[in-house]
Structure formats: C-alpha cells, structure tokens
C-alpha cells in the first residue's frame, strides 16, 4: 500500500519537473529557439489556437525564428499575435513567411528573466512539497486505520522525504542551468 503511494508521488513529482522544463523553455535566452513562441495564441478560424497548430516554426540562424504558416490566410493573424505577445519581438512578414529576429538581451532584461526563473522554480518546489504533504496525510490515515504499522509508516515517511529531497534538488539544478544560460553573453 505505501509503495503505491510512493510510486504515485514520484510520478506526480516527475510531472512537476516536466512542467517546469516546459515553462522555462518559453523564457528567452538571447538565442532563437522555436519553443519561445509555443505559448503564443493566434486568433484563427474563429478561435484561439497555439501558433504551432497553424504554422511550422524553425530557427535557421542563431538570432532568427522562421514562422511558415500552412494557410496564407492566417499570416496577418500570426503577425498580430506575435506583436501582442510579451516577448518584445518585432516580426516582419513577406507574404509567404514571417521572420522573427531575436535581438540580444539587455543586462536588465536578463536579470528580469532570472527572477522569473527563480519564481517558476519556487512554484515547482511548492508543487512537490504539496504532493509530499498530501501523501504524508494519506500515510497517516492508513496508519490511523491500522492498515500500516507504526514502523511501516515511519519508513514510508522517510522514503517519501528522500524522494521529495531528490526532486527539489533536480528543480534547483534545472533552475541553475537556466540562470547560467540566461546570464551567458
């Protein structure tokens, strides 16, 4: 029983780290990366859709993202969505493709992004700790209902804490790597 709880906790904590990776991939580092644009929503076909559902994204150069719409009728909507995004990018449209130059980051902007990384990492740590709290409560409940002995419950608590510590370390490492990437010139 406690093994199931521990496996479930590990799975949910791993998903928290995956979510952190996805969130951090949208933070600009000064290099062109198509994942920067994945959260941009385009108003097309009377609905809002992610940009990668109406166009292909590529980075042929270090400071350029190329957006190739599958339907030329949505090229204006894509350009508008890119201009409205919080990325501070200035796309240019030639009627066939949209070129999005990615300018180098200023020192101030880099520091702002580092703060954002720290904030997202803390949110991931909180998510992992919430998982630990919920599962600790489940273990206490099982112990109270006499489905686990006191010794089994103590071992499960210790194992759950070790799993939590391991995932918090992984979150810290992911955040450190992203911060180093942002501060790299």
pLDDT in tens, 78-115: 888 888 887 777 888 888 898 988 877 788 888 888 99
pTM: 0.72
DSSP 148: S
* 185 band by pLDDT with thresholds 50, 70 and 90: low
Q: Which 3 state secondary structure label does DSSP give 132? A: helix
Helix (H) or strand (E) run with residue 44 in it: strand 41-44
Domains 2-25+106-183 and 34-101 share a fold: no
Fold held by 34-101: Gyrase A; domain 2 (3.30.1360)
Map out the domains of the chain as residue ranges: 2-25+106-183, 34-101
- The answer on pLDDT for 119 being more than 80 is yes
| CATH label, 2-25+106-183, candidates 3.40.30.10, 1.10.1760.20, 3.40.720.10, 1.10.132.20 | 1.10.132.20
CB 68 within 8 A of CB 60: no
pLDDT in tens, 54-81: 888 888 887 888 989 988 888 888 888 8
* 30 band by pLDDT with thresholds 50, 70 and 90: low
């Amino acid at each position: 029983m406690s093994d199931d709880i521990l496996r479930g906790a590990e799975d949910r904590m791993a998903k928290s780290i995956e979510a952190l990776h996805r969130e951090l991939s949208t933070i600009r580092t000064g290099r062109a990366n198509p994942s920067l644009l994945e959260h941009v929503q385009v108003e097309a076909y009377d609905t809002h859709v992610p940009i990668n559902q109406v166009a292909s994204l590529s980075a042929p150069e270090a400071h350029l993202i190329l957006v190739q719409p599958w339907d030329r009728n949505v090229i204006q909507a894509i350009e508008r969505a890119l201009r409205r995004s919080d990325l501070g990018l200035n796309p240019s449209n030639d009627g066939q493709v949209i070129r999005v130059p990615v300018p180098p980051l200023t020192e101030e902007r880099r520091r702002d992004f580092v703060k954002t990384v720290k904030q997202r990492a803390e949110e991931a740590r909180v998510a992992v700790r919430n998982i630990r709290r919920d599962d600790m409560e489940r273990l206490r409940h099982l112990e109270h209902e006499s489905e686990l002995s006191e010794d089994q419950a103590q071992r499960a608590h210790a194992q759950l804490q070790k799993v939590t510590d391991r995932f918090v370390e992984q979150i810290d490492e992911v955040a450190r790597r992203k911060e180093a990437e942002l501060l790299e010139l």
